[in-house]
Structure 1
């Protein structure tokens, strides 16, 4: 059983909603061979430094999200996409303690399967889906800023896709423009949407939330 992380104790103590449910999910996770950490302000469970599952609490539900859930067999049909553009992650939503208790054997089996995927070095094929359509607001920025267009074209396909999904998500054009303008300096630096910009991450170039420990 992994050691309990004090930061996760603090996280649970400060929860305004889903505290009992999150605590119960943590008990299940602590029965596994995973290592408990706090990442992105949420309890995250890893195997040999690879992220496996993260516990989340939202307005309408709490959840366990498997980073490579797309590779899980899911015979019980309990996994769902976090969003329509999610490719690798899959989550299980919970709204009652009873649901958690009923699904504990399923959760445990999925955790063990996820660990076996890590041991085998399995990866989700992120090249299977088409690149999202370029929002016209971004095209307008390209037309007025050739350097931005060049920098965006130099990014890896995965980084381009992440930006396109992020820029296209808002319904309001003004919000899309605001997102593009805010992240333009990051693109010009050749960084992806989730890349570390402070240099404190232990897993560069990605940001693992290490900077938050200084707050």
Structure 2
């Protein structure tokens, strides 16, 4: 363990929120979460799963719930910091100690822990299945192709389908199919050579 004085990793602005973050920590000490340090800040885990983190930012200090999307958030406290990027992380921001209501914080944390116990997580978004009629046609004419295609993992199948179907024009799709058919038959994934 490094000396505590150096462990100011509560992000860049931790020092201006020192008391506030200590207050949150004292509340967290009442839960069954274990404190660890990840990414330069305190992260609280339940059976090695990240449940929440604390941090000080320029304008506020915050608790963020790694799977906050599942919290009912009846008190409307949680924010999605980056709408388009963040699927499950939610932040609860404070600008002063007075805003920290221990009872509410503990309720949210208890719910977050319960969600972990139930194993609620967002599976990486199941990409929409892509259907390629052109490839389907090829496969119906060529059973060996179908068989070879089905040996690929769903992810690799998806890469082929996406590659074909992301072409705008029919003729490009056809030329892409010509390119991938030998790869499929040779059991070579679309991006294998880059992996």
TM range (shorter): 0.5 to 0.7
Q: Does structure 2 retain, via aligned residues, the 8 Å contact 1:45–1:53?
A: yes
Query: 1:115 maps to what in 2?
Result: 113
Q: Does structure 1 retain, via aligned residues, the 8 Å contact 2:66–2:90?
A: yes
Under a length normalisation based on structure 1, what TM-score does the superposition of the two structures give?
Answer: 0.53
Matched residues, number? 131
Query: 2:92 maps to what in 1?
Result: 92
How far the C-alpha of 1:84 sits from its partner, in A, is 1.7
- 1:81-105 residue CA offsets vs partner (Å, 9 max, x unmatched): 02122110001001101001xx221
1: CA distance, partners of 2:19 / 2:99: 12
Q: Does structure 1 retain, via aligned residues, the 8 Å contact 2:9–2:41?
A: no
How far the C-alpha of 1:26 sits from its partner, in A, is 0.8
Q: Does structure 2 retain, via aligned residues, the 8 Å contact 1:79–1:92?
A: yes
Q: Does structure 2 retain, via aligned residues, the 8 Å contact 1:22–1:62?
A: yes
Q: 1:127 aligns with which of 125, 128, 142?
A: 125
Q: Secondary structure at the match of 1:60?
A: coil
Q: Does structure 2 retain, via aligned residues, the 8 Å contact 1:52–1:66?
A: yes
Gaps of 5+ in 2: 129-154, 160-192
2: CA distance, partners of 1:87 / 1:41: 22
| Distance change (3 Å), C-alpha of 1:119 and 1:92 | same
| Distance change (3 Å), C-alpha of 1:120 and 1:23 | same
Q: Which has the larger radius of gyration?
A: 2
Gaps of 5+ in 1: 131-152, 158-187, 191-215
User: Does residue 11 in structure 1 map to residue 3 in structure 2?
Assistant: no
Under a length normalisation based on structure 2, what TM-score does the superposition of the two structures give?
Answer: 0.59
| Distance change (3 Å), C-alpha of 1:69 and 1:8 | farther
Q: Secondary structure at the match of 1:18?
A: helix
1: CA distance, partners of 2:127 / 2:95: 31
Q: Does structure 1 retain, via aligned residues, the 8 Å contact 2:80–2:90?
A: yes
